[in-house]
Chains A and B, each alone.
Chain A
Amino acid sequence: MYVAVKGGERAIDNAHAWLAEERRGDTSVAELSVAQIREQLSLAVNRVMAEGSLYDPDLAALAIKQARGDLIEAIFLIRAYRTTLPRLGASQPVETAEMACDRRVSATFKDAPGGQVLGPTFDYTHRLLDFKLAAEGEAPQAPEAEPGAGATPHITAFLNREGLIQTEPNCDDMPPDLTREPMELPADRALRLQALSRGDEGFLLSLAYSTQRGYARNHAFVGELRIGAVAVEMEVPELGFAIEIGEITLTECETVNQFTGSKTEPAQFTRGYGLVFGQTERKAISMALVDRALRWKELGEEDQGAPAQDEEFVLMHADNIQATGFLEHIKLPHYVDFQSELELVRKLRREAEATSMLEAAE
């Protein structure tokens, strides 16, 4: 018996109501506040800010709550919100050399001016479940010290003094804006870095890993990884000079990569660069490795046909909001296309059958 496929509207409303109830979960358990998510799930908040391309910890925490902890869904909420915001202007480039570092490590030098600062890292924790955390009420206190005086210089700047590392060309052109212009290929490095910075952490991690395993290996060392707060300055037309409008936390990674030289360039080290909102270390390192792999042409290296070297492949597939939307759209009805395929397959089978019967008769 055919029952007409009506009632889509009511089904949608009911689905939304059920979703809201499931989001809240068991009401005998206290509800999570946005502030709790912001403070206690801060690395999730950081990822949502980074890939959502919007620095707002409160909104990111709200999005995580609304998305029931699905971070890609939360990133989507942030992206859809940010696209409606008016553009008041652009900030000055942030000065990461002036960063107030919480963490700063170099894998290339045992010590350097500014020192090695581990900061709040998982690195040397033993990954043993801490059952004490299951009990409530703990408020651990870390020992404190005076903050270091003065800025922490970039490690690569030391190498640069000897000319051992390639100097990045200076460019005063206004960088293109990925969110306001369609992506054009080939993309310049500024555009590539923009796309990588908001790209999916998992995708970039795997691509970066693939370069380490030999698909366009580029021998990366973490020259420096730093996490900390930087000032954001903006030039206000009425004033005629730049003023500080706020502070954001960033993770910056510069890799130092071997380069044996080419016909045009003497042997020197080259760089990969990663810069991401918040404490997002894995993402920043991945970004630096992929950035370096994408620079093969500029450095006169060989195209090994590796995925991480393929600009179009990387840039067109790094955005998880685009990817998840298109992937999940195959849940939508496709009766019409499927019907036309059904007809075609039936027709081809009929014809094949007729031909084989004819052949058998002969």
Chain B
Amino acid sequence: MTDQAYNFAYLDEQTKRMIRRAILKGLAVPGYQVPFASREMPMPYGWGTGGVQVSAATLTPEDTFKVIDQGADDTTNAVSIRKFFEKTAGVKTTEETEKATVIQTRHRIPETPLSEDQVLVYQVPIPEPLRFLEPRETETRKMHSLEEYGLMHVKLYEDISQHGAIATSYAYPVKAEGRYVMDPSPIPKFDNPKMADCPAIQLFGAGREQRIYALPPYCQVVSLDFEDHPFDPSKAEHPCNLCGAEDSYLDEVITDDAGGRMFVCSDTDYCRARREAGHVGAQAAAMEEGANA
């Protein structure tokens, strides 16, 4: 049921129009951070208000909406955001990646490849990839306009000289269409390759920081690296203990206080679909017992 006290998808049409203009500009200049007049939403800043505003401006009544946080549909904040749009937009929701037309995500890209009929909306905490090198917005905007990215390369180089490897494991910076260095949001670097040449539209919303940016379909996205230290999208070297997948990003779960742990897919829908298709991981039986207990 739609709550009649609010407009479709909560925001008024003027606000949605303003956000859509920012989205279109973002799509036209991949990776460029477009300032927008972010509204106060009924959930806190830092909890997905940017993503929520972008989703609100993107959703139509015919859409099917999916929300994930850390790859999972059932984490509390994902539940909360999904409920918000069920209430204010009355759209169909799903946990199945293939069935969704708009997917809002925090910190992950689904394992199932996306299609041209889908929009992936990222929640972004700090949209500025240079922010932790230079805290001033006035400076970083200048650096982007002059394509002055030396500082970023120096940082990556210093990592290598100090640790022997680039010590950035999530929110690993990328360059869009050979121009703007962009923050992919805090996804693990394992997900970075999925952004490139992606058939879906990728939209990024940062509510508190008042920025929107975007990647159009089939956009070139390159993770920054060096010829002799190529980008390495690593993950835990285990298969999923529930579905046996070897190609998915894994969460580590502590199972007892004696160092016991197991690895499970962070993408809950992917893991569920694989188990339903008959794939079995090393501890799947134990998990069934646990669920039934």
Contacts and interface: CB of A to CB of B under 8 A. Distances in A.
Contacts of B187: 336
Interface in B262-293: 262, 264, 266, 283, 286-287, 289-291, 293
A327 B125 CA distance: 11
Contact of A337 (B12, B42, B186, B252): B186
Given A1-B289, A326-B45, A332-B77, 7 more contacts: A1-B290, A2-B255, A3-B290, A321-B44, A334-B70, A334-B186, A341-B170
Given A4-B291, A335-B70, A329 B46 contact: yes
B282 to A, nearest CB: 11
Contacts, number: 158
Interface stretch (B24-32, B33-41, B196-204): B33-41
A186 interface: yes
Interface string A319-350: 00110111111001111110111111001100
Contacts of B210: 182-183
Given A2-B255, A326-B125, A329-B46, A182 B37 contact: yes
A360 B110 CA distance: 45
Interface in B213-253: 234-236, 241, 249-253
Given A2-B287, A5-B74, A332-B69, A84 B12 contact: yes
A180 B45 contact: no
A184 B70 contact: no
B46 A2 contact: no
A184 B137 CA distance: 10
B138 A79 contact: no
A325 B163 CA distance: 34
Given A329-B46, A329-B47, A335 B251 contact: yes
A340 B189 contact: yes
A327 B158 CA distance: 29
Contacts of B287: 2, 4
Contacts of B264: 2
B6 interface: yes
Interface string A79-120: 110111010000000000000000000000000000000000
A2 to B, nearest CB: 5
A344 B167 contact: yes
9 contacts: A2-B241, A80-B40, A182-B211, A185-B138, A325-B208, A335-B251, A336-B70, A336-B266, A343-B234
A9 B74 contact: yes
Contact of B188 (A83, A326, A339): A339
A336 B79 contact: no
Task: Bin the interface of chain B by size.
Answer: 35 or more
B138 to A, nearest CB: 5
Nearest to A10: B79
Contacts of B152: none
A1 to B, nearest CB: 5
A325 B164 contact: no
A67 B72 CA distance: 30
A332 to B, nearest CB: 5
Nearest to A79: B40
A336 B40 contact: no
B47 A325 contact: yes
Interface string A1-21: 111111111011000000000
A164 interface: no
A340 B190 contact: yes
A3 B41 contact: no
B66 interface: no
A343 B75 contact: no
B78 interface: yes
Contacts of A322: 45, 208
Contacts of B211: 182
Given A5-B74, A347-B165, A336 B125 contact: no
Contacts of B144: none
B80 interface: yes
A322 B38 CA distance: 11
A5 B41 CA distance: 28
Nearest to A78: B40
A76 B70 contact: no
Contact of A327 (B46, B74, B189): B46
A12 B79 contact: yes
A312 interface: yes
A329 B138 contact: no
Contacts of B136: 312
Contacts of A326: 45-46, 125, 208
Nearest to B5: A84
A348 B236 contact: no
B4 to A, nearest CB: 14
B112 interface: no
A298 interface: no
Nearest to B250: A339
B175 interface: no
Contacts of B49: 325
Contacts of B190: 340
B20 interface: no
Nearest to A77: B42
A338 to B, nearest CB: 9
Contacts of A362: none
